[in-house]
Amino acid sequence: MSGVADTATAAPRPAARPTRPGGHRQLAGTATLLRFALRRDRVLIPVWVAVNSLMVLSMPNTLKSLYGTAAQRADLMHQMAANSSLRALVGPVFDDSVGALTAWRVGVYAGALAAVTSLLVVVRHTRDEEESGRQEMVASGMVGRRASLTAALLAAAVANAALALLVTAGLAGQGTAGALAFGLGLGAVGMVFATMAAIVAQLTESARLARGLTAGVLGAAFVLRAAGDSATNAGAGGGSSVLTWLSPLGWLENLRAFAGERWWVLALFAAAILLQGAAAYLLAGRRDVGMSFLPTRPGPAAGRLTGAGALAWRLQRGSVLGWSIGFFLAGVVYGGLTDGAADLVKGNEKAREIFERMGGHSALADTFLASMIGMLGLVAALYVVASVLRLHGEETSGRAEPVLANPVARLRWAGGHLAIAFGGSVLLMLLAGLGFIVGYGAKAGPILGACLAQLPAVWVVGGLAVLLYGLAPRAATAAWGVAGAVLLIGWVGPALDVPQLVLDLSPFGHLPKLPGGEMAWGPVLTLTGLAAALVAGGLVGLRRRDMTT
């Protein structure tokens, strides 16, 4: 009894002070989460890396066929020095070798594509996971506080390393040092925006907003580089503008691959990656799961949405606005370049043939316009896929369940988002047409008709996304693979002179080449009917299957 009494009356021990977990504990489970992230992205990463690397590696042969002699390449360099609009679009030329021209022609766009892939990967495995509630479940296990962020950045690093390796190996024949510099530069651009996305993911509560803000930074980087290159011609021996040095895309340009490499520029990339990564880690350690440093402001006390369509518009209006501005500005820029681009390839028969494969057999200005409108049509397909897959995001995050628990039919709920997806594509192409009219001064009728003629192919890609979501929601993200394949065929196919059979695999290969060509209603109506059938099949599958709850 005395032992019991002594135990009962003994003074309680003071509670142990919590210890700060070590770095190894905060990264516990990183390897497992990395394997899981790579498994989830087994379609996204390979497709976009393949699209990007093939776009780069196809360029040397194209340039050799276009500018086979040193005199032709020197003349191209001289023309670029005199054309500020084209410098704003693709940057200055630093040397007339095939390798240097390859880095000039595709560097900006390959870097931008690497940035987009990286930001999508990082946001998907950080803020998307928290928004869906899966991160909270994962964090309840033996997982470190910063393991998810580390796994996301490592997944982006794997994608960028693969791109750098493929580009370096593929361009080694043009010069080992230049190939290594260009490959490292592309991977570094991707990692700069991966770490940028990691910071933004800590600041915002919404994955959609995180993607939008990081994409906005990428857009600002492109504008700064374009403004700097337009103002000065670094390729003619002058120095680059301060605006160019403010942009990571400008750093890639000033790395000067195949033109007397500036290896010290890689230190700028390394510093940006390390500083942004450290900031992301610091912010991640100072907030709770699901929270953010910029919380979403509360909505009104009384709801003002009148239905499922209004809710869909409220959710997607920011995306529609951003895409609309981008398409209008792209139309203005491409329209302003039409005369200069026509003069650039006027004396080059091979270049004319490539533009004609993309834009049809007509006057050179019309051919250039048709090819650029076709390129914007390919990009519009990406918008439609992203907008359609918003349905998948709403379902998997659990936000669709309380909406459908009310007297709201599934088809009515889905119809609101699909109206924005397919109707938004009409708006984008109309705005692109208005941009071409402003930039080039062409007549409104032919330009607007050419832009609208792209819509049936855009809708077919969107219809495939609806079909995948309705019948096999787990495979819905494979729609990005379809969009990537269509983009690859449209961008690289004409330059590689691939057989028409391959070009016909894309719905865009069946469209009439407008303006300048003849209108063909048969393919347009057939593609429109196919798109309607795909959407109908997807909606039937959505109505019959179980929803994720």
Q: Give me the pLDDT at residue 537, please.
A: 95
Q: Give me the pLDDT at residue 526, please.
A: 94
Tens of pLDDT, residue by residue over 115-144, are 999 999 999 888 888 877 777 777 777 777
Q: Give me the pLDDT at residue 469, please.
A: 93
Q: Give me the pLDDT at residue 8, please.
A: 41
User: Which helix or strand (DSSP H or E) is residue 40 part of?
Assistant: helix 30-40
Rounded CA-CA distance 210/206 in Å is 6
Rounded CA-CA distance 439/354 in Å is 23
Hey, which residues does 294 pair with through a beta bridge? 204
Q: Give me the pLDDT at residue 91, please.
A: 81
Q: Give me the pLDDT at residue 303, please.
A: 61
Rounded CA-CA distance 428/384 in Å is 10
For the chain, give every domain's residue range. 27-289, 311-549
Helices and strands in the chain, H and E counts: 27, 0
Q: Hey, what amino acid is at 370?
A: A
Q: Give me the pLDDT at residue 5, please.
A: 42
Q: Which residues in 471-492 are b (16+ Cβ under 10 Å) and which e?
A: bebeebbbbbbbbbbbbbbbbb
Cα-Cα-Cα-Cα torsion 539, 545, 548, 549, nearest 10 degrees, comes to 120
Inter-CA distances, 315 with 31, 243, 397, Å: 35, 34, 14
Residue ranges of the chain whose pLDDT lies below 50: 1-21, 361
Q: Give me the pLDDT at residue 89, please.
A: 74
Residue 154 tokens, joined: 């490592």
Tens of pLDDT, residue by residue over 219-266, are 888 888 888 887 777 665 666 788 889 999 999 999 999 988 999 999
Q: Ramachandran region of residue 84, left (φ > 0), alpha (ψ -120 to 50) or beta?
A: alpha
Q: Give me the pLDDT at residue 29, please.
A: 77
Tell me if the pTM is above 0.85.
no
